[in-house]
Chains A and B, each alone.
Chain A
Amino acid sequence: MGIRLLGLGARAVILVVFAIFFIAPVLWLILAPTKSDHALITSSPFSFGSFHNVAQAWNHLDAYSDHLYRRWIANTLIYSLSATAITLAISVPAGYGLALGKFPGRRVILTLTLVVMIMPAAALVLPIFLELNALHLIGSVLSVILPFSFFPFGVYLAYIYYATSIPSELLDAARVDGCGEWLTFRRIALPLAKPVVALVFFFSFVSNWNNFFLPYVVLADSNQYPITVGLSNLLASTPSFNPAVGGGGQSVNIFKPELALATLLAVIPVAIVFLVSQRALVRGTLGGAVKQ
């Protein structure tokens, strides 16, 4: 009995310690915009300041370079949604074809997809840069959207889904019922792929939203920056982080609370996408199709 209690206690302690370790920074970040720059250092790290401070931090952030922050968020939404839309249009049919089609070269394409999938994105930045340069696309919106429209992980997810979750008899039934290959995909395979569409949408959107290196390399105009590059730019021009830019005759009202708010706001769209796609990920779409 005693040993059991001791075990329970030890487990609880370990869980609490880890929870605190991971939750503390998030909590700090959420509370930071409620405090003034000074209070952030002097008051307790987990104290709540006031909503007034949040509003003030937002005014400062929004005023920065004539609403530049809003521009970055809008840019990121455009880049991410465009690349994700192209990704979905390509990877779901590609995964379907690779999983259920019979054509020469299928294995080679599948292997190549896997190889590209495990290759770190940063490794490809230089060749992609050269390619974009050759196509005179450097500095254009397309230079950010196009390279990320091919999402091998999405192809792989769709492939796995079709290879394991769609009974081939279902597609045979559609063919016998009068569907050609396109209609079989459009009327049966695609509607049944909702869970994987949601999954690909989520992963593609998040990876596009967090994409930093490529836009950092190919974009020069700060008006075109996505939020990731923008935030690093903001950090670099903040006196409290980079004293070299401090003062300079121009008043930049960007301090730690403003930065905390900027970071926090940048996470919100990803959180929303997660909540939306998570609902569609719920299993059971295929229930009743075939006898298990």
Chain B
Amino acid sequence: MASVAFEGVTKIFGDGTRAVDELDLHIVDGEFMVLVGPSGCGKTTALRMVAGLEEISSGAISIGEHVVNDLSPKSRDIAMVFQSYALYPHLTVYDNIAFALKIRRLPKAEIRRRVEEAARILDLQPHLNRKPRALSGGQRQRVAMGRAIVRQPQAFLMDEPLSNLDAKLRVQMRADIKRLQSDLGVTTIYVTHDQVEAMTMGDRVAVMRKGELQQVASPDEVYRRPLNMFVAGFIGSPAMNMLEATVERRDDALEIVVGEARIELGHATVAAHPALASYNGRPIVLGIRPESLEDAALVADGARHRLPGRAELREALGPDVLVHFSIAARQAVTDDVRELVEDVGDDRRLERLVSGVGSRATLVGRFSPDTRTREGDTIEVALDERSLHFFDPHTGLAIV
């Protein structure tokens, strides 16, 4: 087991595409690092460079003490789980798992011992003599994992290994992989497009965008204190609501003016964002997580701020209710927001964003299941100002 380090790593493809740009990232020994970002952000390219499947244009990648730039994949002692599993179709499950050990000419008894151990861990014993085509998706995925763990490599590289499984199986495999990794303690780099996987599995999460690293931190940190609008919008589902707003000073207090509403910030909030004062009279982007919004009828605490709105859509999820409602304010439309909407593939929303936003913005709130809100109702939404996020509309950076 070893640490993995990217130092100023850049990858430029033949057509001039800069897939990874000056990536600096240190993954400590035994860590579970998740690389997350929208498609085309360079996360898979970064992973393939560690594997040696993609050449490095500049910079250095080290595994343990050694720079591996010029080593072929077979000399890097890493194991990889592919998105498509890439099982050898002409070999049985046993031979698939044993393949790398046979290539390394380990003694037969040792190979058998290791394969059987892996099969036991992954519940594959009954399937050892079957060919991959006779297996279900989940079983194939486990064989791919088995092929990685028998190697006892320096590091695991996983390229969206769960994206081909159905939702229920994915939840289970997510937990299984996490448990397996912490049992084995092998340094792992896990690439995913799915922010739920990123949040639940990683010791740390590295958010990438267009080849550039945006933020590296614990899942909790990335969620609570995103460094910029892109990270804020990418992590969290439903996504953070983003509104155009202005900062105004009234007497001693700071107020955020959003549409017709004014939100007075408490001392704690101002103390947490000292730079906000310098934005007096200037526009900012206000970020509100859906869970910071609640049906005002259910909130006893009168101190909370209230936004008047109209309920447009109600989605009951069971433990909570997502209410889409409009308020008199303007949706923030920046490049980050556009890219995030594009990534989700929401054409209608993209069209609305690009064609200019009206005087009303649609927000999503995560309400308690007790809410009686119906579509078309005029409602009041309570807002917890302590959990607001503020961004500079020009740089996209968080104002702290």
Decide whether A and B are members of one complex. yes
Q: Is the CB of B74 within 8 A of A290?
A: no
Counting CB contacts under 8 A, is A172 at the interface?
A: yes
Q: In the bound complex, how far is the Cα of B135 from the Cα of A236, in angstroms?
A: 63
Whether the pair A176, B79 counts as a contact (CB closer than 8 A) is: yes
B283 sits at the interface (CB 8 A): no
Whole-angstrom CA separation of A167 from B135 in the bound complex: 19
Residues of A within 8 A of B90 (CB): 191-192, 285
Contact-size category for B? 20 to 34
**Residues A177 and B99 in contact, CB atoms below 8 Å apart:** yes
* B103 and A177 within 8 A (CB): yes
Indicate if A109 sits at the interface (CB-CB under 8 A).
Answer: no
A178 vs B52: C-alpha distance in the bound complex, in angstroms?
12
Contacts of A52 in B (CB 8 A): none
**With contact pairs A173-B88, A177-B103 given, residues A288 and B74 touching in the complex (Cβ less than 8 Å):** no
Contact A288 B131 (CB under 8 A): yes
Within the complex, the shortest CB–CB distance from B165 to chain A, in Å, comes to 9
Contact A167 B86 (CB under 8 A): yes
Is B73's CB under 8 angstroms from A288's CB?
no
Chain A CB within 8 A of B104 CB: yes
- Interface residues of A, count at CB 8 A: 25
Q: Is B11 an interface position by the 8 A CB rule?
A: no
Beta-carbon contacts under 8 Å, B152-204 to A: 164
* Interface assignment of A4: CB less than 8 Å from any CB of chain B: no
List residues 56-99 of chain B with CB under 8 A from any CB of chain A: 72-74, 76, 78-80, 82-90, 99
Q: Do A179 and B74 touch across chains, with their CB atoms under 8 A apart? A: yes
Q: Which residues of B contact A183 (CB under 8 A)?
A: 103
For residue A190, give the distance in angstroms from its CB to the closest CB of chain B. Answer: 10
B134 at the interface (CB under 8 A from A): yes
Chain B neighbourhood of A287, CB < 8 A: 89, 131-133
**Is B87 in contact with A289, judged by CB distance below 8 angstroms?**
yes
A175 to B54, CA, bound (A): 12
Q: Check if B206 is an interface residue, CB within 8 A of chain A.
A: no
With A169-B84, A287-B133 as contacts: A175 and B89 at CB distance below 8 Å: no
Assembly CA distance A170 to B48 (angstroms): 14
A11 at the binding interface (Cβ < 8 Å): no
A187 CA to B74 CA in the complex, in Å?
15
Question: Is A291 on the interface with B (CB-CB < 8 A)?
Answer: yes
A286 interface contact, C-beta 8 A: yes
**How many angstroms from the CA of A167 to the CA of B82 in the assembled complex?**
11
Q: Known contacts A176-B80, A177-B147, A191-B90; is A288 also within 8 Å of B132 by CB?
A: yes
Chain B min CB distance to A165 (Å): 11
B82–A179 touching, CB < 8 Å: no
Residues of A within 8 Å of B135, CB to CB, are 288
Judge whether B132 and A175 touch: CB under 8 Å: no
Contacting residue for B78 out of A172, A176, A191, CB 8 A: A176
CB contacts (< 8 Å) of A187 on chain B: these are 99, 103
Tell me, in angstroms, the Cα distance from A289 to B147 when the chains sit together.
14
CA distance A289 to B96 in the complex (A): 11
The yes or no answer to B306 lying at the interface (CB within 8 A) is no
With a cutoff of 8 Å between Cβ atoms, the chain B residues found around residue A94 in the complex are none
Residues of A within 8 A of B137 (CB): 291
Option from B80, B133, B134 in Cβ contact (under 8 Å) with A173: B80
Chain B interfacial positions (CB closer than 8 Å to A): 48, 51-53, 72-74, 76, 78-80, 82-90, 99-100, 103-104, 131-135, 137, 140, 147, 151, 164
Q: List 19 A-B contacts (CB under 8 A).
A: A169-B86, A170-B89, A173-B80, A173-B87, A173-B88, A175-B72, A176-B76, A177-B79, A177-B100, A178-B104, A179-B74, A287-B89, A289-B84, A289-B87, A289-B88, A289-B133, A290-B82, A291-B84, A291-B164
